[in-house]
Amino acid sequence: MNNSDYDRRRMHRLMPGLIMIGLGVLFLIGQFLPIGDWILLIMGLAFLVSYYITRRDGLLWPAGILSGLGLAIIVGNALRLDGPMMAGAILLGLSGGFFSIYIIDQIFTPPTPVGPLWAGAGTGLAGVIFVLIGVGALPENVWGVVGQLWPIFLILAGISTVVGAFRRREG
């Protein structure tokens, strides 16, 4: 075994402990300083740094999700959003987190599965609907229509998956 393999394996074993130490410090500081809105973003960025160091895909998902949610909460609270507007902001932040998972993974370890794109598109669409309800462009009962049409999105996702399976086999 060469030194780089040994160092990589050691870093993989160290990372969970370092994350726990970092979270403990963050929560301890949170007891004395008003960083409540920032906790999710800081946690997401810690996972992002961990992903960058180890390139373990399992760290990228919490990095994107927590960072997106954290940023949305910070912006939503700064703009004093509430009700459907805050829900829309949170879903749009989550959508941005999913898209960031795809983009970052594509940069560092292509090819990248399209799952984060589907998740980003779905949460983004829901976020836009909430924002449109919040500004009065859509009635609040629009969710009844969405509730009836959601199987169409499931069918489209299934078609995409089937087409992707054939493309992978041929390539």
Give the residue extent of every domain in the chain: 3-140
Q: 17 pLDDT band (50/70/90 cuts)?
A: confident
Going through 4-160 in order, the beta strands assigned E by DSSP cover none
Q: What is the pTM of this model?
A: 0.75
Q: State which H helix or E strand residue 93 sits in.
A: helix 83-108
pLDDT in tens, 64-83: 999 999 999 999 999 999 99
Distance CA 27, CA 33 (A): 10
pLDDT in tens, 139-154: 988 888 888 887 887 8
